[in-house]
Structure 1
Amino acid sequence: MIFQYDIRSKKNLPDFDQSLIWSAILLLSLGLVMVYSASISIAEAGRGTNGNPAHFLARHSAYLAVGLLTGLVAFQVPMRLWQKYSFPLFLLGVALLALVLIPAVGHEVNGSRRWISLWIVNFQPSEFMKLFIVFYVANYTVRKAHHLDSFRKGFLPMLIMVLVVGGLLLLEPDFGAFVVITAIMMAILFLGGMDLKLFAGLIGFLIAALLILIWIEPYRMQRFFGFMDPWDDPFGKGYQLSHALIAFGRGEWLGVGLGGSVEKLFYLPEAHTDFLLAVIAEELGFAGVATVVALFASLVIRAFVIGRHAAARERHFSALAAQGIGVWLGVQAFINMGVNMGVLPTKGLTLPFMSFGGSSIVASCITLAVLMRADWENRQLAKGFPV
């Protein structure tokens, strides 16, 4: 049962949202198990793994440990400081996105330059830029609350910001991160009370821009047509999706059993990263996928509840930041799941809290810590304590 509380009551109020914490713990734990299951064969035959089947398990565990420690530090930071330093963090994110594009600095994988090599690991700035955008747009919306119905004072600065960040992401290219960041920005502006006519115009502009971006890039067009009919070219542009759908079909209701996936045996590319849900579907079936969906739904709902409670106490930055985080997690999870199920065109986005990847895991843990901090401050105020 999800614990609900009335912010006017000070009785029997725990310090933390139990539903939020347990949803995150279950996602992180299931992700750890499934990354190991999905990566055993790749690790045994891959380069740089010395044939160790637990290679990716060890690395994912290390990423998780770093993420939890970093999240613990992030939890100590009051929301007012995240608000105060939201613009410097945004500038830091822009600088890192620009740094990625420098050939001597940026690390290229499969034709995309999205990482900065730190020798031991690769750092992906776009994962952290999503959180920086949440802070920046939430703070902007609070500061410009009286100008959100103005094109020049309310809308134009956000449009310029989207063009700058979007341009850097598309040069990598990282179309998926661009879509998620755009969704975060639009949602926060809408929740902050942006004029509906301007908001509708922004949606129209962005939809047109996204369609043009798909049209002018041949590889995006190929992914789009491969998504429409993956069986037309199952060994070419429809390869990933066709094997993901086979994995879903084999899993049926209860799956073939943990470790029993066939598609992860070099048939399904990126089985432990972008297509982890397909392995879950094959090994744990509909029941496993439904559990993952329910856990993400719980996280998103709790984020919006936390935001509502913060808004009720006129903590508008905390409210918009919490709900922006909910939008981020919800949209990214939806896109990843949609890609795995063939509902959306193939796009390289990880499943938050679950997919293999150091930057993704650490960013997810920090995001969770910020959400918990917003909730903790709500609860302390409800008890009559200062924050």
Structure 2
Amino acid sequence: MLAASLTSRHHALVEYDKTLSWITIALLSFGLVMVYSASIATAEASKFTGFQPAYYLVRHSLYIFVGIMAGVMAFQVSLQNWQRLAPYLFLLGVALLILVLIPGIGREVNGSRRWLSLFVINLQPSELIKLFAVLYAADYTVRKGLLKDHWGQAFLPMFAVMALVGGLLLLEPDMGSFVVICIVAISILFLGGFNIKVFAGLVIALPIAFAALIFSSPYRMQRVVGFMDPWSDPYGKGYQLSHALIAFGRGEWFGVGLGGSLQKLFYLPEAHTDFLLAVIAEELGFVGVCIVILLFAGLIIRAFAIGRQAANLDRQFAALVAQGIAVWLGVQAMINIGVNTGVLPTKGLTLPFLSFGGSSVVVSCIAAALLLRIDWENRRMLRGLPI
């Protein structure tokens, strides 16, 4: 009896969401293979990489390792402690966004100042702020639970905070992260039960504000015009998208074969980062793209299921974090896919878990670890065990 009891208790301790874990592993593994395939020619011909064909493969492998280690550490922290730390993490994120704008501290690449140099790697604060915004918005929604029907007291403080973050992101500029964070914050407030009248106003106000941002900046206007008709200037503003579309066209149903892409041979800029999906489409075809979409669909469905279970257990913060992560990863993946296929203007957003980039990979792994932690705590509660 004692042995059986100990065995049962051990199983309860180690039980976790295997589906979510395998989806995460599949995305990271698939991304590692495709980053190597997309970057090998660029790395071999670049003085920056020391003419080493495996340069990006080695670095991306290191990022995945660091991401997994960060995820393991994040998993050890209870959701109660994450809630307690949420405001401070958000303030840290805002401070990093300010630091990145200071000349001499922030690193500028291709006209955008988005990185902080940490000697060995570059930190991108806009990736961290997405996670911190999920945690902060979830904590804010829980704290303002009694004021959900008061537009001024409940919504305006969050609007002011997000306007500050949005302003800092637009100064980089990073329009893509600004859009993602706005959608995540609004979604969490909506899922938290805030007054529907607030969101009716937002449906009208946000498109107007978004249009104003586009028309106020020649840079953004150029991107929108280029996205609408890339073939009008295929060697200028439509260069990236036109080559991405050529890659999709060449891939057809089953692709030209792994490693067989022509567009990655110095035609398609950022082939291993923002436009990785175009290389996947060319080499693995429609089937390869569908696999990526199905993996993300599975991840999002599991995240919402975990959030729903947490809500049923009256764990509102955990539920909103899980659902917020689902919205964040889903929206960012959807935007990246839309950019690659010419449905949306170029945003400079990575494909979570897959694209090359240390900050993106590490933060995505931490997000997956938080989902696993929420699920683990749910299972413990259902068994009457302490969290």
Q: Give structure 1 stretches of 5+ with no counterpart.
A: 1-9
Structure 1 SS opposite 2:113:
strand
Provide TM-score, normalisation by structure 1.
0.96
Give the secondary-structure state (helix, strand or coil) at the position aligned to 1:361: helix
Give deviations 1:131-158, integer Å, cap 9, x for gaps: 1000100011011112122122101101
Query: How many pairs align?
Result: 377
2:5 match: none
1:229 aligns with 2:217: no
Residue correspondence of structure 1 range 265-304 to structure 2 within 5 A:
265-304=265-304
Range that drifts further, 12-21 or 282-291? 12-21
CA–CA separation in structure 1 for the residues paired with 2:109 and 2:15: 43
- Per-residue deviation, 1:43: 0.1
Asked if 1:202 corresponds to 2:169, the answer is no
Cα displacement string for residues 5-58 of structure 1 (whole angstroms, at most 9, x for unaligned residues): xxxxx9x97711111111111100000000000000100111321111000000
Quote the offset at 1:59 in angstroms. Answer: 0.4
Letter in 2 for 1:37: S
Which residue in the other structure is 2:6 paired with?
none
Q: Residue in 1 aligned with 2:264?
A: 264
2:355 alignment counterpart:
355
Look up the equivalent residue of 2:330 and give its one-letter code: G
- Alignment partner, residue 7 of structure 1: none
Moved more, 43-52 or 200-209: 200-209
Residue 382 of structure 1 aligns with which residue? 382
Asked if 1:88 is matched to 2:93, the reply is no
Partner of 1:18: 18
Q: How does 1:139-178 map to 2 (within 5 A)?
A: 139-178=139-178
Match of 1:124 in 2: 124
Question: After the TM superposition, which of the residue ranges 165-174 and 199-208 deviates more from structure 2?
Answer: 199-208
Q: CA deviation at 1:204?
A: 2.2
Report the alpha carbon displacement of residue 119 of structure 1 after superposing the two structures with TM: 1.5
1:207 CA drift (Å): 1.7
* 1:4 aligned residue: none
- Asked whether the equivalents of residues 247 and 279 of structure 2 are also in contact (C-alpha less than 8 Å), the reply is yes
2:4 is aligned to none
Task: After TM superposition, give the deviation of residue 269 of structure 1 in Å.
Answer: 0.3
| Structure 2 SS opposite 1:85 | helix
SS in 2 for 1:117: strand
Q: Structure 1 residue 40 and structure 2 residue 40: aligned?
A: yes
Q: Equivalent residue for 1:190?
A: 190
Q: Report the CA distance between 1:194 and its aligned residue.
A: 1.1
Offset at residue 347 of structure 1 (A): 1.1
Cα shift readout 1:174-203 (whole Å, capped 9, x = no counterpart): 100000000100100010011111112123
Percent of aligned positions that are identical: 64
Q: In structure 2, what residue type is equivalent to 1:310?
A: A
Give yes or no for the alignment of 1:328 onto 2:328. Answer: yes
Give, as a single letter, the amino acid of the residue that structure 2 aligns with 1:93. G
Shift of 1:121: 1.2
In the TM superposition, structure 1's runs of 4+ consecutive aligned residues that sit over 6 Å from their partners are none
Structure-2 residue corresponding to 1:239 = 239
Q: C-alpha distance in 1, partners of 2:146/2:302?
A: 28
Instruction: Give the RMSD, CA atoms, in angstroms.
Output: 1.1
CA distance in structure 2 between the aligned counterparts of 1:267 and 1:124, rounded to whole angstroms:
26
- In the alignment, the residues of structure 2 paired with residue 47 and residue 71 of structure 1 have an alpha-carbon distance, to the nearest angstrom, of 34
**2: distance between equivalents of 1:372 and 1:338?**
28
Using the size of structure 2 for normalisation, the TM-score is 0.96
Tell me which amino acid in the other structure corresponds to 2:335. I
Structure 1 residue 296: deviation in Å?
A: 0.2
Rounded Cα–Cα distance in structure 1 between residues aligned with 2:136 and 2:119: 30
The amino acid across from 1:359 in the alignment is: S
Partner of 1:318: 318
**Residue type of the partner of 2:293?**
V
Structure 1 residues 24-103: aligned runs within 5 Å:
24-103=24-103
Q: Specify the alignment match of 1:338 in structure 2.
A: 338
- Residue type at the aligned position of 1:382: L
Cα distance in 2 for partners of 1:22, 1:208 equals 41
CA distance in 1, matches of 2:116, 2:230: 33
2:250 partner amino acid: R
Moved more, 206-215 or 26-35: 206-215
SS in 1 for 2:237: coil
Q: Is the 8 A contact 1:15 1:380 kept in 2?
A: no
Alignment-mate amino acid for residue 74 of structure 1: A
State the alpha-carbon separation in 2 of the partners of residues 207 and 377 from structure 1: 39
CA contact (8 A) 2:36 2:54 kept: yes
Q: Secondary structure at the match of 2:49?
A: coil
Q: Distance in 2 between matches of 1:204 and 1:373?
A: 37
Partner letter of residue 368 of structure 1? A
- Letter in structure 1 aligned against 2:51: G
Q: What residue identity is the alignment partner of 1:275?
A: F
Distance (Å, rounded) in 2 between the aligned partners of 1:149 and 1:113: 39
Q: Distance in 2 between matches of 1:332 and 1:54?
A: 28
Q: Report the more deviating stretch, 74-83 or 222-231.
A: 222-231
For 2:83 and 2:35, the matched residues in 1 are separated by 35
Deviation at 1:97, TM superposition (A): 0.4
Residues 151, 195 of structure 2: 8 Å contact kept? no
Deviations, residues 80-109 of structure 1 (Å, cap 9, x unaligned): 000011101110000000010100110000
1:148 counterpart letter in structure 2: K
Q: Counterpart of 1:152 in structure 2: which amino acid?
A: G
Kindly indicate whether the alpha-carbon contact (under 8 Å) linking 1:101 and 1:172 is maintained by their aligned counterparts in 2: yes
Instruction: Give CA-to-partner distance per residue, 1:191-220, whole Å, 9 cap, x none.
Output: 001111111212322221111111111111
